[in-house]
Chains A and B, each alone.
Chain A
Amino acid sequence: MSDRAALSTSEVSRNSLLPVLLSLIIPGAGQFYLKQRNRGLAIFAVFLIQFLLTSWAFDNYQVGLLVISAFETNWLWIFLVVFWVWNVNDAHRLAQNKRVTNLFAMVIVALVVYIIAWQVTDVQLVRLVTRFGNALKIGNDLIHPDLFTQDASGNWVPSENFGYIFGTIEQQPPPELFVRLGLVSPTTMLPTYQAGKIVETIALGFLATVFSTIIALPLSFFAAHNVMVRVPFGNTIYYVTRIFFNVVRSVDTLIWGLIVILWVGLGPFAGVIALTIHSVAALGKLYSEEIEHIDPGPVEAITATGATFLQTIRYAVFPQIVPPFVGYTLLRWDINMRSATIVGFVAGGGIGYFVVETLRKSAYNQYAAALWAIAVVIMVVDFVSAKWRERISTGETQVQTGPRRPFYLSLRFWFYLLVGIAVFAYFWSLSEISLKAMLSPAPTLGQVAFGFINLNLDPPVVSDVVNQMLVTIFQALLATTLGSLVAVPFSFLAAHNLTGRSRLSAWLYYATRGLFNFLRSIEALLYVAIFFYWVSFGSFAGMLALAVTTFGLIGKLFSEAIENIDPGPHEAIIATGATRLQAIVFGVLPQIIPPFISYAIYQWDINVRLATIVGFAGGGGIGNLLLNDYFAFSKYRSAGTAVALIVLVVIPMDFASARIRRRLV
């Protein structure tokens, strides 16, 4: 008996000695040697990242500084040692064919990442308490927006601020056209509507959607692989267009705004261009994917009838792509409207510009009025866009009986066309679109273009840019974690299938849904001012602002994920005599955890993009560096470096998050 035991231990040690030694020298090497190639490489990569992050955080932010008399060290190294030990043990267990788990290592790495993120983002929870007075003050302003005042006789009338936001009726000289036609004399004054900033915002979002649809439509065919394989040099065109879309898409609208103002100057027109540039790339990508995913069956069938190429496109391709294209355009309209509320922060035009003005004056009740106006407009847009998209995807628009009258014979068509043209023309004039400005760019635009090609790679600049990019990523990570964690309990309240049928739960359902919709209708950049005032300037304020939008966005996604679960398992577990809590843990959680994780990763991806611009309002990170250090001092080469790094980070994150999500679902 003892002989056999001795024999087996020696056998085991002979088997596991080499891998253990290998992993002791290079983490992951033992696993690699044991044919677990991916595991070995992953362990090595994680080890390297942990090492680099720990030393980076220590060098730049003294994270983990431990002073023992005259001796300085970093206590975060303990985690690296623990990881190393775990890796050796892992190699040992693998060699013995025992079960291995990643849980412990994941906890270690997560701890290190969060400790570093916490310090680097400059989280100072104590400020939330010590400066709570500020929060009360701004909270008070938020619930008392400057919209109405009492006039001399004590009646409530719209305030001046109301006029700035929603527009005013003013006595103006009549339009020249009317005078020429002899309708009015040039001296009479006519009451004329002067559009407010929120109307201008709607104009920006609308025009950007129209322009980007028109531009993206033809471009998307160049980025569709199934089309391009039939064309000479198709592959090259395909890759170039794809890369163009991805690069342009990864740079936020507001960063485009910084560049565009050097081209056409500050104003609503710059806002339209910035929105359009980003939107073309985003729409182009979605359109091209939709073209790639069409069913080849109908194309084959129509071709088989002897139809011409154009006939095939018309009858086999068109019907397949039009509904999704319209759906994406509506979605983009929603997104563009949201971006239009903030594009004014840098480009001028729209309500964002007005918000910056109010903040400069520290007129928080005026700022509050703008926030309320934005929330109402965006919630309406969100609702309309979602309803239309739903109708398109369920095909409800096709309800009709009998043969269809040609569209040009219906009165409704002409009515919509006229209204459309009128709206378009009005918005065009509001946005101060000027082709002349486009054709005569300021000379600085050339400098920018040159700077963006000829990047500044001086070590101090690169180091600044990398530091701030890492801060941005950590900021997004903390905001995602915080926002998601808080959203989880709320999302259960906003899920119809779990809340039950009592009046209280129905009330809670609508209240929570409403809260989600309200909070997510306002862009993170607009929240920064609140936290700026509460916890002061810096990445902590930016992180909190991002967390608030995350809460609204992810709360909605989470509650929808809960509503989509299969009720069967829950019923089956209740039938076994389990408690309600047990039924949730065993019947509901396994169904919702994968989508929750998948949404959280998606949100992190979004938050990194958003975090690149929270610095435009005082939220720290790379946006702050880009605006206040580079663009403000015309350092376009350094700005180019920062933008290039954003592209380099955002594109791989986008791909990685898409792949992880596909694996999870």
Chain B
Amino acid sequence: MLRVENLTKVYPNGTVALKDVSFQVADGEFLAVIGLSGSGKSTLLRCINRLIEPTAGKIFWNDIEITAAPVSDLRKIRRQIGMIFQQFNLVKRSSVLTNVLSGRLGYVNPYTSLLNYFPAEEHQRAMNNLEQLGLADKAHVRADSLSGGQQQRVGIARALMQDPKLILADEPVASLDPVLAHSILKYLEQLNKERGITVLCSLHFLDLVHRYATHAIALKDGQLVFQGLPEKIDDAQFKAIYGQDAERVSIV
């Protein structure tokens, strides 16, 4: 259970990115976070693993207060929360395998790992994950030689190395074409259904939300404007979230 209470984030330049946001996510949910660009979706996801420090409010995860965790505990919390990024955030010059292995850094010895040493079982785990995502043959090539969809699969493999109980996906398909978008989201759905991993995923297209999410929340100007089942987002709700002039576009 992830519980967010009265979360507020004000950036040093005065921008209010989140304003008093509260919601809950039960274990095993696939929660879609929707809203316009700049509505605070990325900030929200980054507050959950504290890549961004919230200004006020609390975040509880299974009775651990993430927002109050000291740095040493924070790393133990982070390693259980996988994260996937819009721009994939791979180290382009490193090999695919090294990128995937780097997902395990929170578990392995912090010193020997600095010499790029990972135990054999971690190599095995990395290869298994790559195989599952259909990239086993790419393990030794440079990450930037892969296509966008492949790079995002490497990003997922990296997250899987953490044995995550929760995955935060920040616009994971916004840089991909529709066909690839579906394939990536199907992987996330599979992880959600088969392994019971809770997924928080920010998305742009309502069709994708209807198709994959079990719950949805919507942000507008940093405030929570909707919370409920995806199919409850009707035209009126849609206009409230995206503004009066918005029109629904669909994605194949």
- Give residues in A with beta carbon < 8 Å to B: 566, 568-569, 571-579, 581-583, 585-587, 590-591, 594
Sample of 20 more A-B contacts, CB < 8 Å, known A578-B102, A587-B91: A569-B89, A572-B89, A572-B155, A574-B51, A574-B78, A576-B79, A576-B106, A577-B75, A577-B76, A577-B77, A577-B105, A579-B75, A579-B105, A579-B110, A581-B110, A582-B105, A583-B105, A586-B98, A590-B93, A591-B92
A568, B86: Cα distance in complex, Å: 10
- Residues from chain B with Cβ under 8 Å of A574 in the complex: 51, 78
**A573-B105 in contact (CB<8A):** yes
**A582-B83 in contact (CB<8A):** no
**Which of A576, A590, A591 is B78 in contact with, Cβ under 8 Å?**
A576
**A582-B113 in contact (CB<8A):** yes
- Residues from chain A with Cβ under 8 Å of B114 in the complex: 581-582, 585
B103 in the interface, Cβ–Cβ < 8 Å?
Answer: yes
- Residues from chain B with Cβ under 8 Å of A569 in the complex: 89-92
**B102-A576 in contact (CB<8A):** yes
A586, B103: Cα distance in complex, Å: 10
* Minimum distance in angstroms from A275 CB to a CB of chain B: 41
B49 in the interface, Cβ–Cβ < 8 Å?
Answer: yes
B158 in the interface, Cβ–Cβ < 8 Å?
Answer: yes
- Residues from chain A with Cβ under 8 Å of B168 in the complex: 575
B 121-155 contacts with A by CB, 8 A: 155
In this complex, what residue of B is CB-closest to A501?
B12
- Residues from chain A with Cβ under 8 Å of B75 in the complex: 577-579
A568, B104: Cα distance in complex, Å: 17
- Residues from chain A with Cβ under 8 Å of B242 in the complex: none
**B102-A575 in contact (CB<8A):** no
The 8 closest A-B pairs by CB, nearest first: A577-B106, A577-B79, A568-B89, A578-B105, A577-B78, A572-B89, A575-B83, A569-B91
Q: Mark B77-89, 1 if CB is under 8 A from A, else 0.
A: 1111111010111
- Residues from chain A with Cβ under 8 Å of B37 in the complex: none
**B162-A577 in contact (CB<8A):** yes
**B94-A590 in contact (CB<8A):** yes
- Residues from chain B with Cβ under 8 Å of A577 in the complex: 75-81, 105-107, 162
**Which of A568, A572, A594 is B158 in contact with, Cβ under 8 Å?**
A572
**Which of B79, B87, B105, B107 is A586 in contact with, Cβ under 8 Å?**
B105
In this complex, what residue of A is CB-closest to B12?
A501
B 49-82 contacts with A by CB, 8 A: 49, 51, 75-82
A566, B49: Cα distance in complex, Å: 20
5 contacting pairs across A/B (C-beta < 8 A): A571-B51, A572-B155, A574-B51, A577-B105, A578-B75
* Minimum distance in angstroms from B91 CB to a CB of chain A: 4
* Minimum distance in angstroms from B161 CB to a CB of chain A: 8
Asked whether A572 and B85 contact (CB < 8 A) given A582-B113, A582-B114, the answer is yes
Asked whether A591 and B93 contact (CB < 8 A) given A577-B78, A577-B79, A582-B110, the answer is yes
A583, B82: Cα distance in complex, Å: 15
* Minimum distance in angstroms from B46 CB to a CB of chain A: 8
* Minimum distance in angstroms from A103 CB to a CB of chain B: 13
Q: How large is the interface on B (under 10, 10 to 19, 20 to 34, 35 or more residues)?
A: 35 or more
A572, B85: Cα distance in complex, Å: 8
**Which of B91, B105, B113 is A590 in contact with, Cβ under 8 Å?**
B91
Q: Chain B's interface: helix, strand, loop or mixed, by majority? A: loop
A594, B79: Cα distance in complex, Å: 29
- Residues from chain B with Cβ under 8 Å of A582 in the complex: 105, 110, 113-114
**B76-A594 in contact (CB<8A):** no
**A576-B87 in contact (CB<8A):** no
A566, B88: Cα distance in complex, Å: 11
In this complex, what residue of A is CB-closest to B155?
A572
Asked whether A575 and B94 contact (CB < 8 A) given A582-B105, A582-B113, A586-B105, the answer is no
* Minimum distance in angstroms from B243 CB to a CB of chain A: 30
A587, B101: Cα distance in complex, Å: 12
**B91-A575 in contact (CB<8A):** no
The residue in A568, A577, A582, A583 that gathers the most chain B C-beta atoms within 10 A of its C-beta is: A577
A576, B167: Cα distance in complex, Å: 11
A582, B159: Cα distance in complex, Å: 16
- Residues from chain A with Cβ under 8 Å of B87 in the complex: 568
The residue in B91, B107, B114 that gathers the most chain A C-beta atoms within 10 A of its C-beta is: B91
- Residues from chain B with Cβ under 8 Å of A573 in the complex: 102, 105
- Residues from chain A with Cβ under 8 Å of B80 in the complex: 577
**A591-B49 in contact (CB<8A):** no
A577, B165: Cα distance in complex, Å: 13
**Which of B90, B91, B94, B105 is A576 in contact with, Cβ under 8 Å?**
B105
- Residues from chain A with Cβ under 8 Å of B89 in the complex: 566, 568-569, 571-572
B 161-195 contacts with A by CB, 8 A: 161-162, 168
- Residues from chain A with Cβ under 8 Å of B83 in the complex: 572, 575-576
The residue in B75, B81, B155 that gathers the most chain A C-beta atoms within 10 A of its C-beta is: B75
* Minimum distance in angstroms from B75 CB to a CB of chain A: 4
- Residues from chain A with Cβ under 8 Å of B77 in the complex: 577
- Residues from chain A with Cβ under 8 Å of B158 in the complex: 572, 576
In this complex, what residue of B is CB-closest to A570?
B89
In this complex, what residue of A is CB-closest to B87?
A568
In this complex, what residue of A is CB-closest to B52?
A571
* Minimum distance in angstroms from B246 CB to a CB of chain A: 29
- Residues from chain B with Cβ under 8 Å of A594 in the complex: 93
A579, B92: Cα distance in complex, Å: 21
**A575-B113 in contact (CB<8A):** no
- Residues from chain A with Cβ under 8 Å of B103 in the complex: 576
* Minimum distance in angstroms from B45 CB to a CB of chain A: 10
**B93-A575 in contact (CB<8A):** no
A585, B85: Cα distance in complex, Å: 20
A89, B76: Cα distance in complex, Å: 46
- Residues from chain B with Cβ under 8 Å of A576 in the complex: 78-79, 82-83, 102-106, 158-159, 161-162
* Minimum distance in angstroms from A99 CB to a CB of chain B: 10
- Residues from chain B with Cβ under 8 Å of A591 in the complex: 91-93
- Residues from chain A with Cβ under 8 Å of B81 in the complex: 575, 577
* Minimum distance in angstroms from B228 CB to a CB of chain A: 28
A571, B168: Cα distance in complex, Å: 13
- Residues from chain A with Cβ under 8 Å of B162 in the complex: 576-577
**A575-B105 in contact (CB<8A):** no
A82, B78: Cα distance in complex, Å: 48
* Minimum distance in angstroms from B54 CB to a CB of chain A: 16
